[in-house]
Amino acid sequence: MNKALILAGGLGKRMNSPKPKVLHEVLGKPLINWVIDAAKLAGADEIGVVVGHLAEDIYPFLKDVKIFVQKEQLGTADAVKSALPFLDGRILVLYGDMPLIPASTLRKLFDSDADLTILTASLPNPFGYGRVLRKGGKIEKIVEEADATDEIKAIKEVNSGVYAFNSKALLYALERIKNDNKKGEYYLTDSIEILTKSDFKVETIETPDPGTVVGVNTQRELSVLIRRARETINFALMDSGVTIEDPDTTFIGPDAKIEPGVIVKPFTFIYGKTEILSGSTIGPYTTILDCKIGSKSAVISSDCNGAVVGENCSIGPFSRLRPGTIIENNVKVGNYVEVKNSHLFSNVKAQHLTYLGDATIGENTNIGAGTITCNYDGVKKNQTFIGKNAFIGSNTALVAPVKIGDNAFVGAGSTITEDVPPNALALGRSRQVNKEDWVLKKRRESDEK
């Protein structure tokens, strides 16, 4: 059985952040979730995660994995020991701050028949990494930066920290690793020397792209990694037929699916499980999270989260679509319109300064500027139902729960508190009174004083 054990219990002191290091995001996705997904794609049958520092903050992001707790920060070998019940079969050891490692590389480690296979990389500046010491071409051991001599520090080949063990070899090594080093920690790297001296088969695989095994220790390193991830995703989408007008200001997450023929304009952020179909235009100045956008739709300078938008729709500028929003085909949602947990059927128009919350709006209905659904009564959210072919005049307040029938008209400036039957005209406003010459009278009174 192939298993992946991800070490995610480090303090991350150099991040200078109150948030656990592995929860910092790359293109809208926490570091730890990048690694979990890579392990799944590589063929891991089970995934374990070792947590420690601020573990309670990490738990909500760990789904379909087994969780183990490292009680003290005593090194990587100690972290692996925290998961002893998990250690059977082929064990891939990963780190929760290494998001760009490709599943194809991890698959090679799984497929290796060695008792221990180490993923290495050659770096022009290997500072901070354990160096690979070889004898007769074969790996002999890893020496950590803190314990390395100047001669060893000159070696360019480094240990990525990613290993694939047969569990028998791993358990054998864990029993023998000691903490007689400058930090007083139990290094998993010591398993290499232990296993080579005990006639276990130890091999290395060198990654052709060292940048994919770079971890994150500082905020600056995080920004470099984000830049690399952004370029990789954007260039792949452009090669597939997506038009990205300015890749330097466009941020697209790894789980987004964008079809050829989509145009993405500058300063656009597309994150989560978003899907955008061909012919649509997104941006500029737009954020989309976990949405589905149909073909030939436009989303301009807007914020969309958890919404479904149909074909040939126009959203924005300055619209906000919140979770639970369903917008069918040929709908127009215009400037400063907010829609939350509502279903707008085809050909609905809500083009100006409107709030639609917990509402169902029938096809061909027009919502005038300044309309709001008053859905919250201080205790619970209530529903508004508007039928087909209705007309809601400007500056109308619909006090839920309320129903507006098919073909009904609501006069501008109305406050509607009762249901409106189909084909009716509803007026819910004070009667206008004009007082002739009132202004002239007031002026005379003022002058007399």
What string of DSSP letters covers 284-342? SSEEEES-EE-TT-EE-S-EEES-EE-TT-EE-SS-EE-TT-EE-TT-EEEEEEEEES-
31-42 and 103-111 helices, crossing angle to 10° = 50
Query: In b/e form, how buried is each residue of 314-350, taking b as 16+ CB within 10 angstroms?
Result: bbbbbbbbbebbbbbbbbbbbbbbbbbbbbbbbbbbb
The enclosing H or E element of 2 equals strand 2-8
Tally helices (H) and strands (E) across the chain. 9, 39
Tokens representing 84 are 């002893």
Strand-pair partners of 252: 270
**Considering 24, 53, 343, 352, which one is annotated as catalytic?**
352
Instruction: Determine the length of the chain.
Output: 449
Residues contacting residue 446 through CB under 8 Å, at least 6 positions apart: none
Omega into 284 within 30° of 0, i.e. cis? yes
Round to the nearest angstrom and report the end-to-end CA distance of the chain. 97
53 is catalytic: no
Report how far residue 184's alpha carbon sits from residue 77's, in angstroms, rounded to the nearest whole number: 12
Cβ atoms of 386 and 359 closer than 8 Å: yes
d(CA 70, CA 55): 9
The phi and psi torsions of 33 (rounded to 5 degrees) equal: -75, -30
Element (H, E) at 48: strand 46-51
Residues 44, 45, 47, 48: is their CA dihedral positive or negative? negative
Reported as half-sphere exposure (CB side, CA atoms, 13 A), residue 52 has a value of 23
Helices 167-174 and 190-197 pack at an angle, to 10 degrees, of 110
Q: How many CB atoms lie within 10 A of CB 188?
A: 25
Known catalytic residues are 352
